[in-house]
Structure 1
Amino acid sequence: MENQRKVRHGRGLTRRGLLATSVALVAVSTLGAGVAVAAEPVKVAGIYTVPVEQQWVSRIHKAAETAQARGDIDYAFTENVSNTDYARVMREYAEKGYQLIIGEIFGAEQEAREVAADYPDIAFLLGSSFKEDPALANLAVFDNYIQDAAYLSGIIAGAMTKTGNIGMVGGFPIPEVNRLMNAFMAGAHEMNPEITFQVSFIGSWFDPPKAKETAFAMIEQGADVLYAERFGVSDAAQERNVLAIGNVIDTQADYPETVVASAIWHFEPTLDHAIAEVKAGTFKAADYGVYSFMAEGGSSLAPLGTFEGKVPEAALALVAEREAAIRAGTFSVEINDEEPKSS
C-alpha cells in the first residue's frame, strides 16, 4: 500500500509568512534563463518520494533546514510522493510561487522535465540519472557523487574482513548506486585483491525488512562485512555479530559495535551554490554532481568513533594518503556507473 503523502513546512513558514514574502518579492527581476532574483529569502520547495528520514533524502532535507536557519531560504516540503504523482506536486509548488524546487526524479524523468519547461522562471534542482539539457535552461541536475568517500570506506572494509567475503545490499542498480559500490569494491581490493563480493539489489529505496533478510542470506554465505547501502543491513549485521560499512549518513551511534566507518554525503555545497545562483539571477542548466566530490566538501569519511584503535594501521595510513591526494587533486577515484556483480 502506498504511503500517505505528507506535506510539511519548515520552521517559520506560515500562511502569514508566505503572504509577507509574496509582498516582499515585488522587486523581483528576471535575468538569463528567466530564473527570478530575490533580495528576500528564496522560497524553496522539496519534493521527495520517500520519508525525509530515509538516508539519501535526509541529506537534502538537512541542508535545506541549515540554509533556512541561516535565513537564506523559506523551506517547505512534501514527502512520500509517488512517481506518478510527482509532476502534479511540482506544478502545485510552481503555482504557489516557489522560486527553487528541489527533489529527485529518478522515476519520473520525462514528466518532471515537462513541468520544468512549463515554468521557465522557476529554478529546478533535481536528482537525476541523466544530464542537464541545454534546451531546458532552468533545470539543473545533481547526484551524490561520493565515490571518494566510498572508496576510502572500502579500504577500511578490506582491512577488517577476516573471511575475505563482503556482502553488498543496494536499492536499485542505477548509476548513483553503482558508482558507490564500485568505488567501495576498488578500495577493498587495495587492501586485499582476493576479496570476493556478494552483490544484491532489493528493488526498493526503503524496505528495511527486505534489506535485512538479504543481508542475512549473505552472512550465511560467509560475509563478515556488509556494505549497508540500504536501511536494514546494519540491523542484520548487528544481530549476527558481523561488521557493516555505512553509506550517506553516519549511523554508528545506533550501531556502536557494528558500523566501522561510513561514507558521508554533504548536500550543503550543492544547495548553497543553487541558492546563490538563484539570488544572482544566473541559475542555469548544469550538472551539480561535482559539488558532491570530496575536494568540494561534498563528501567525507565519518570518524571511526568506537572503532578507533581497532582498524589496522596499514589501512589508516593508506586512507590518509589517498584522502590527501584526493583533496589535492593528484588522485582520482574512478567513476564507474556499470552495475556491479558478485564475484
Structure 2
Amino acid sequence: MTNLQKRSLLQTVALTAVAVAALVGCGKKEEVAPAAAPGAEAPAKSEPLKIAFMYVSPVGDGGWTYQHELGRRAIQEKFGDRIETSFVESVPESADSERVMRDMAGQGSKLVFATSFGYQEFVQKAAADLKDVKFEHATGYKTAGNVATYDTKTFEGAYLAGIVAGGMTKTKTIGVVASVPIPEVVRNINSFVLGAQSVDPAIKAKVVWVNEWFSPPKESEAATSLINGGVDVMYQNTNSPAVLKTAQERGVRAFGKDGDMSAFAPQAHLGSAVIDWTPYYTKVTQDTLDGKWEGGSFWWGVKEGAMDLVKIADDVPQEVKDRVAKAKAGMKDESFHVWTGPIQDNAGKEVLPAGKVGDNAFLTGIDFYVHGVEGKVPGAK
C-alpha cells in the first residue's frame, strides 16, 4: 500500500468515527431501510371508510337531529382518519331522500345512516340496487341483506318524564304535542301518561297533533292550545324547543326531548329525555371497519346507555326524584318494564293483563291511547 493510500484510509476511518460519535452524542439510532426490490412500490395507505348521515331536520334543531349529529362527531373524533363522515340535513321524507342516498353512494359512502322513519321505503329501493353499501335506518322495521334498523327506547325517557309530570302538575291535566301518528309516537305519549299516573292515577291527558317532525310555529300553536285547555305540564314528540319556549312564555312547565333543551327555557324546564346515539354508532362503525357488520334490528335504551332523563329541575320534590331513580335502575337491570299489565285503553278495554309484559310485537303495534288520554289516535280503527 502506498503512503497516499494509507493517508486516504486513515482519513476515512477518522471521519467515520466522528460521525458515529455525533450520532451517539445526540441519542439517535440510524436505521438503514432495506433496498426495495426492482419494480416494487411502497404499500398504499388504506382509504378511509366513508360514512354518510341523512337528517330530516336542521342540525341545529336542538333535539332529534342534533343528537344524531353529536353521534357523528363522536365517531369522527374516536376513529380519526380511519373514517370520513358527512351529512345532509333537512331531507324530506319523500323520493328526494332516495336521490340523496344514491348521491352519497356515488361519492363513495359505504355506510349510510338514514335517521327518520319516513325514509323507510326509499332506503329499501336504494339498498336493492346498491348491494355494496350498508344502510342503517333509524326507527324503521324493514330490513334486508344490507339494511339494518335501529332505535332507542324513547318511551323509557317519556315514562321517566311522566313521573316528574305526575309530581308537578297542579291541574292534574298534562299534555303532549305530537308529531306524526305512528306507533313509536303513540307509544311515547302513552308511556308519558303511564309515568304520571304511577304517581297519581287520577291524572288526565290531552294530545294535539301537528303532523310534522319539525315545525316550530305549529308546535308553538299546539302548545298554546293545550295550555288554553287547562294543561300545566307538557311533553313533546317533535324536534324543536318551541313547546318548551311557549311553556315559559305562558308560565307553565315542560320537558326537552331527544336533546338537552334546558338552556332554551330554563324557568319552564323540568328535565330533558335525552338520546345518546354514540354507543350504537361506535359499535356499527367498528363492526364495519372490522368486516363484521351485521343486519337485523337493534333497540337500545337506558340499559345500554342510549336513553336518560337529565337536568331534572331543582324544585322537583326529592320524593319524585327518588321515584325516577328507582324506575331508571329497574330499566337498567331489567327488573322493571314500562309496559306491564294491567293496562287498559281509554275505552276501558284491557290491552295487557295483570303481570304480562308487552313484547316487541306489542310495543311496535300500539295504535290506541291508554286510560286517561282524551280522544282517538288519528287513523286508528
TM-score by length of 2: 0.75
| 1:106 to 2:117 alignment | yes
Q: CA deviation at 1:258?
A: 0.3
Question: Aligned runs of 1:219-230 on 2, under 5 Å?
Answer: 219-230=227-238
Q: Supply the distance in 2 between the matched residues of 1:222 and 1:130 (Cα, whole angstroms).
A: 37
Cα distance in 1, alignment partners of residues 262 and 122 from structure 2: 38
Residues 181 and 340 in structure 1, CA contact (< 8 A), matched pair in contact too = no
The one-letter code matched in structure 2 to 1:321 is K
**Deviation of 1:166 (Å):** 0.5
Are the aligned partners of 1:46 and 1:101 in contact in 2 as well (CA < 8 Å)? Answer: yes
Please list, as runs of the form range in 1=range in 2, the aligned pairs for 1:270-309 lying within 5 A after superposition: 270-290=280-300, 293-304=301-312, 307-308=313-314
Distance 1:320 1:107 in 2: 34
Equivalent position SS for 2:263 = coil
2:107 to 56, 74, 96: 96
Q: Tell me if 1:241 matches 2:251.
A: yes
The answer to whether the 8 Å contact 2:270/2:311 transfers is no
SS in 2 for 1:75: strand
Displacement of 1:340 in angstroms is: 5.2
In the alignment, is the contact (CA less than 8 A) between 1:165 and 1:224 conserved in 2? yes
Matched, 1:319 2:319: no
Counterpart AA for 1:323: K
Which of 42, 45, 59 aligns to 1:52? It is 59
**How far is 1:105 from its partner?**
4.9
* 1:174 pairs with 2:182: yes
Q: Does 1:187 align with 2:187?
A: no
Partner residue of 2:135?
Answer: 124
Could you say which residue in structure 2 is the equivalent of 1:140?
148
Q: How many angstroms apart in 1 are the aligned matches of 2:52 and 2:90?
A: 14
| Cα drift, residue 229 of structure 1 | 2.5
Q: Which of residues 92, 115, 119 in structure 1 aligns to 2:126?
A: 115
Q: CA deviation at 1:319?
A: 1.2
Change (3 A) 1:105 1:314: closer
Match of 2:335?
330
Query: 2:91, 2:57 → 1: CA distance?
Result: 7
- Specify whether residues 318 and 128 from structure 1 end up closer, same or farther in structure 2 by C-alpha distance, changes over 3 A only: closer
Could you tell which deviates more after superposition, 237-246 or 278-287?
278-287
1:154 aligns with 2:162: yes
Q: Distance in 1 between matches of 2:230 and 2:190?
A: 20
Residues 86-112 of structure 1 deviation map (CA, whole Å, 9 limit, x = unaligned): 111111111221121112352232232
Distance 1:190 1:229, change over 3 A: same
Q: Distance between the aligned counterparts of 2:165 and 2:116, measured in 1?
A: 32
Q: Deviations over 1:135-178 (max 9, x none)?
A: x2111111232222221111001100000001100111112222
Gap runs ≥5 in structure 2: 1-43, 340-357, 375-381
Check whether the contact 2:120–2:142 (CA below 8 A) recurs between aligned residues: no
CA distance in 2 between partners of 1:200 and 1:171 (Å): 9
Alignment-derived partner of residue 171 in structure 2 = 163
Higher normalized contact order (CA 8 Å, seq sep 6+, divided by chain length): 1
Q: CA deviation at 1:41?
A: 4.1
Residue in 2 that maps onto 1:13: none
1:197 aligns with 2:205: yes
| Structure-1 separation of matches of 2:368 and 2:225 | 18
1:192–1:175 Cα change, 3 Å: same
Q: What residue identity is the alignment partner of 1:46? A: F
Give 1:228 shift.
2.7
- Superposition deviation, residue 212 in structure 1: 0.7
One-letter identity of the residue aligned with 2:330: A
- Percent identity between matched residues is 32
Cα deviation code 1:104-141 (max 9, x no counterpart): 35223223212112122211111143242xxx211111
1:215 counterpart (209, 223, 237) = 223
Indicate the structure (1 or 2) with the bigger Cα radius of gyration. 2
Q: State the number of aligned residues.
A: 299
TM-fit CA distance, 1:190: 0.4
Q: Which residue of 2 aligns with 1:77?
A: 87
Q: Distance in 2 between matches of 1:105 and 1:239?
A: 30
